[in-house]
A and B are shown apart, each in its own frame.
Chain A
């Protein structure tokens, strides 16, 4: 484990000296190249592969991540879509280092927006906020209409105490998602943190925010102080 870390530190030093911008991979301290998964960058899904992916998705929707992983592995991970699901499932069962390895390879080898999204998501979960934001910003550039990416990027900005930019990203995510999901709480917290009463009133009126939801958003906002 020392050689990869030494190489990584050397790379960071070179980047700092040369004045190059930091890449989404600069804070990656995951698996060595010997144990990195060999992902497929193939994005074309054959009909029989789609059937397998549908079966995996059904298990994921039923909150059965272990069964979904087994289903994925049963016929091989032949496309980028398979590997993205594997990374997400590994992250969901807290095997974060393995998930990080999968998403890193998807991003680095395939230049996949799902790879950058997953990389940033796992890095945020590991409290690597700066690295996570860099990866998520790259994902946002590649897929600006993804509600999940805009939400996660916005949440990362909240963690980094960039409240006003977070409002923009989270408002975009709210509209893209039709007002559903975790973004409801995240945006309410961002409005509270920026003292935006107009925003809170808008959420109440247009998205039927309840007193219970706003009370929870106030508790969430306090976590960012």
Chain B
């Protein structure tokens, strides 16, 4: 008697996955007279997509290097400023 329950669960999960994949793609007019996404987010997304596609053939700056350096810079702002600047290998 318990078998139908897991079959129903499996059918529900499968149908939800199918529905998610079948979302209608965007088409038509852009309706975007003004670009509202931040310039930095747009550049970062484009560079990440470029990296995933294998990168451009010719570039003065490696896309991966740029993305990595921007992420490192952002990380430094997230770390708190240490109260005392001292050598980390100290036994104190």
- A residues bordering B, Cβ < 8 Å? 57, 60-61, 81, 84-85, 87-88, 91-92, 103, 114, 117-118, 121, 124-125, 147-148, 151-152, 155, 178-179, 181-186, 189, 206, 212-213, 216-217, 220
Contacts and interface: CB of A to CB of B under 8 A. Distances in A.
B14 interface: no
A206 B54 CA distance: 11
Contact of A81 (B21, B34, B53): B34
Contact of A148 (B28, B35, B50): B35
A182 B45 CA distance: 17
A148 B37 CA distance: 13
Residue from the set B24, B32, B46 with the largest chain A CB neighbour count within 10 Å: B32
Interface in B32-50: 32-37, 45-46, 49-50
A91 B31 contact: yes
Contact of A181 (B22, B24, B30, B46): B30
A81 B22 CA distance: 37
A148 B33 contact: yes
Contacts of A217: 27
Contacts of B25: 184-185, 212-213, 216
Contact of A212 (B21, B34, B36, B49): B21
Given A87-B33, A124-B29, A148-B30, 13 more contacts: A84-B33, A103-B33, A117-B33, A148-B32, A151-B30, A178-B45, A178-B49, A182-B27, A182-B29, A206-B53, A212-B22, A216-B25, A216-B27
B74 interface: no
Contacts of A189: 27
Contacts of A91: 31
A182 B32 CA distance: 11
Contacts of A84: 33-34
B36 to A, nearest CB: 4
B33 A118 contact: yes
